[in-house]
Amino acid sequence: MPTTGLGAESAGDPYLPASGNGGYRTRSYDLDLRYRIATNRLTATATIAATATAPLARFSLDLLGLRVSRVLVGGRRAAFRQTATKLRVTPEAPLAEGDAFEVVVDYAGAPQPRRTRWGKLGWEELDDGLLVASQPSGAPTWFPCNDTPGDKAAYRIRVETDAAYRVVCNGRLARHHAAGGRGHWLYEQPEPTSTYLVTVQIGRYASLDLSPADVPTTVSFPRRIEREVRADFGDVPRMIAVFERAFGPYPMASYAIVVTDDELEIPLEAQGLAVFGSNHADGRGGSERLVAHELAHQWFGNSVGIGAWRDIWLNEGFACYAEWIWSEASGSVSADALAHQFRVALSHLPADLVIGDPGPARMFDDRVYKRGALTLHALRLTIGDTPFFDLLHDWTTRHRHGTASTAQFVELAEARTGMSLHPLFDAWLHAKALPALPHAGPR
């Protein structure tokens, strides 16, 4: 246990025991980034508003690979020390539980991605530009933060960089101008956002408005692949409409898509935003299911977030099931047929994973995605279509811009249906053996 008054240097999640910090909650981040693309040089100031949840003589922030030059707490200089992954701050006067305080951190360096068991995470240079993909622990590669998914905050992100490049960040573009060969961009994201879902994307991008849609939707892309982008992302407004009927109102103010000039192994989710590689735009809809998957994360994973990484199926299982919902709604294979198809495929794989708590090494195992989706289809078959989609609407409304757990989902499902559903969820989420899909109940 930490000494009294010293904030813990962990959020207590066993999947990432070195990430996050104790003793406070953040309310907002104001990031002022000045970036030179040719040299990968970042000079920045982070202003963090927080509230102490315990008496604090010292607290810590997650930060790695960047050098801090000054820290202010409440407008006064604070003592600080850096370790490989933490910025330890000692304010001039201790903070009392319940105190609201502001931390200003000046820092600089050449950001690099973090090497983890899941690959490289965080700030990563492209051939000509930049992407940030932080899930689950890459955010500290570019700003000091409390890097745990349950500590959501609002964001303002200002970026100054070469004027020839477009900058795309979370939220609404509030201001943009160019002067002296430099472009200045300001984005505002008032919706509470987890650190791993905050992003900066920079490239020589053209921009396309995908409206008409109830949700302002844009895609940024290299002009050379405009035809492919129009073909592959033109259905996004219709996808939004389908998912609004299935899950409830779109939870963000807008939706932005970035297609990088580089090829990417997988698309990347962020709050109000998704990033694809040029290989995901083939002009033939080859990545249609991935387009649907990343969009669905705006409801599941981004708005309704998780407080602990063991519940990752609530993000990925729901997004995978959304792929099947879109397939059916668009006139392709039905969700039921896809569920039976993937149930057969999973039956040929090892039954050695508990998807309700897969462990850090396998939290992104494809079986978490597919069996998570099958869990939802089993629930749908058991309770019927109308109760199932009513449940999803209630889930996304109750936990909008918050966090939730598996236990809360099971509790809500039982409360809404009056049925004992623990055996179903235990079999699908907490046992290794693969259950059979139930026969359809009331429709």
Residue positions in the annotated binding site for Zn(2+)?
293, 297, 316
DSSP states of 10-37: S---TTSTTSS-SSEEEEEEEEEEEEET
DSSP 2: P
- Choosing from 29, 255, 321, 369, the catalytic residue is 369
Residue 88 in tokens: 């330890």
User: In the 3-class helix/strand/coil scheme, how is 373-413 assigned residue by residue?
Assistant: HHHHHHHHHHHCHHHHHHHHHHHHHHCCCEEECHHHHHHHH
Burial class (CB in 10 A: 0-12, 13-18, 19+), 280: buried
**Residue 166 corresponds to which tokens in the numbers above?**
């477009």
d(CA 60, CA 122): 20
Distance CA 358, CA 360 (A): 7
Q: CA triplet 287, 293, 297: central angle to 5 degrees?
A: 145
Please say if 369 is a catalytic residue: yes
Identify the bridge partners of residue 154 per DSSP, sorted by sequence position: 28
Q: Tell me the chain's radius of gyration from C-alpha atoms.
A: 22
Q: What one-letter code names the amino acid at 219?
A: V
Write the burial class of residue 195 (CB in 10 Å: 0-12 exposed, 13-18 middle, 19+ buried).
buried
Closest CA to 399 of 299, 250, 293, 325: 299
The single residue of 9, 228, 294, 323 carrying the catalytic annotation is: 294
Query: Taking CA 147 as the corner, what is the angle to CA 143 and CA 153, rounded to the nearest 5 degrees?
Result: 80
**C-beta separation of 22 from 12 below 8 A:** yes
255 is catalytic: no
Positive or negative: CA dihedral 353, 355, 359, 362: positive
CA nearest neighbour of 357 among 292, 296, 309, 412: 309
Q: Which positions are catalytic?
A: 294, 369
